[in-house]
A and B are shown apart, each in its own frame.
Chain A
Amino acid sequence: MILKATGISKSFGGLIALKNVDFHINSGEILGLIGPNGAGKTTIFNVLTGIYHPEQGNIDFNGEDISKYRPFEICHKGIARTFQVTRAFLDMSCLENVLVGIIGNNPNLSPAEKKSEAIKYLEFVGLKNSVDTQAKNLTLVGKKRLELARALSTHPKLLLLDEVLSGLNTTEMREACDLINIILDKFGITIFWVEHVMSAIMEVSGRIIVLDHGEKIAEGLPKDIANNAEVIEAYLGESDA
């Protein structure tokens, strides 16, 4: 087990975003996180990465409670993320974007080592020919690939993916899923994945947890989740029958 969250609660004013949520992530798995809009999925990511501190509960990451740590410290411990709406540093080149992750986590490398490491990650995500392109000139897919390279450059043990597939066409989705499987196999990075594209998350995840109104309503294998009455109700509303 790489991460174990116990009794996480977080509210914004009167709005309860997360209510006593428990979950764990096993080392080397792809854990899917689904739920209707406003269920608290992104809040979970923000709590795990230290953007918000939970009001209650603790987050055990490799035997250490990280619930009070600041974002850069959590990054140093080995959690990285990508964003639903991409947040590359738009006025910097792809190379510089990835270098920021390397500078933040491995400042002692020589300049040449930093650069070759950055290029290695850009090549891996398929941006070999865009090393000096300004991030703002990339396509949506390009920006998503860049975010992935930047996240990998921080040497994460756990990678949080926030709707990487949204806005991609079928071919691009296929490529993205392949890439994510390679990240798991080749780098041994555990993946925690929020996704709206059900077919993809059902196929790729080993396990899935479902959130609704800030509470965990189901957890299990993809095929069990697909047939879970509570999950169907959360997504489709209560049936009249």
Chain B
Amino acid sequence: MTQKTVQTTDATQPEVLRQHAEQQYAHELAALAEADSHPRPPRWNLSPRAVLTYLLGGMAGDTEITPKYVGERRLMEIAVATLATDRALLLIGVPGTAKSWVSEHLAAAISGDSTLLVQGTAGTDEQAIRYGWNYARLLAEGPSEAALVESPVMHAMREGKIARLEELTRVQSDVQDTLITVLSEKTLPVPELNTEVQAVRGFNLIATANNRDKGVNELSSALKRRFNTVVLPVPDSLEDELSIVIRRVDALGRSLGLPEVPPALDELRRVVTVFRELRSGVTEDGKTKLKSPSGSLSVAEAISVAVGGLTLAAHFGDGELTSRDIAASLVGAVVKDPVQDQQVWNEYLETAIKKREGWKEFYLACREVS
């Protein structure tokens, strides 16, 4: 259903488990807006170039902008350029490739508001995308503007902001298609009141979809062609991925209040290496081809394996991240299907890991748990 997310109280309030992007990075956005000299599309808080800087990192005046997305610049350029045209943006990728992350930051940078969000689920209905009614009022006063409950999409149209729709492909096809009018005619009719809400300039929509869901609720071609697609890939290089993992593990560990465990770079590197190799179906040195397991092995999962290992080490181990701590959660992350994946995993252990220099302890730990 609609998540008219509770308008979060105060940006400085530290008790919130997770802050919105526009709150957490408010100072960066402000600095960018100040330094920004390029033309801004109507109702954009920043120029497209400044939005790019916000996403990819850089400098705004004296303020350092942290990179939000580590990866190909090209993709972010396409995403931002798309939002500046009247086409909607669809971010596709396997789970854990920062689709929602990017969409949140895009909305925050462009509209200063990342909360106009509809979470797509199998139960999402038309009301969540168009509008609903305050039934008490509807019964008491009959249909009126006051009885109408706006969806985030309608709100965004009225205000000229960016609306977000998460997991578009989880939503049933007939509900998806309500978007067609919104995206092509840029209007949302309200026949009950014999009126309509026309989108003002600046409105656009970012949807995310998961390509593991392919075929579940295939988008109709009419809807498809109203989106520009950007496929977010898994990180290119080991170093990129490792730096993402380290940064996130560190942040997560702190927010979970884990006891301090020195992050063992070697072990994290191993986790990332294993994930990358199995995902791409070839060892990092390119010499041995491998089978890939059924899971998606995303960066997000690598992060949670690492956090799991750290938790084990902190609470049960001797306070140092070892192969054994990692192995337990790693095997669980890789072997999703007990028959197929187990075979893949064993083959991987035997062909790639067993003979690798300095991996002996890790190999033995993995053998033990698998």
Do A and B belong to a common assembly? no
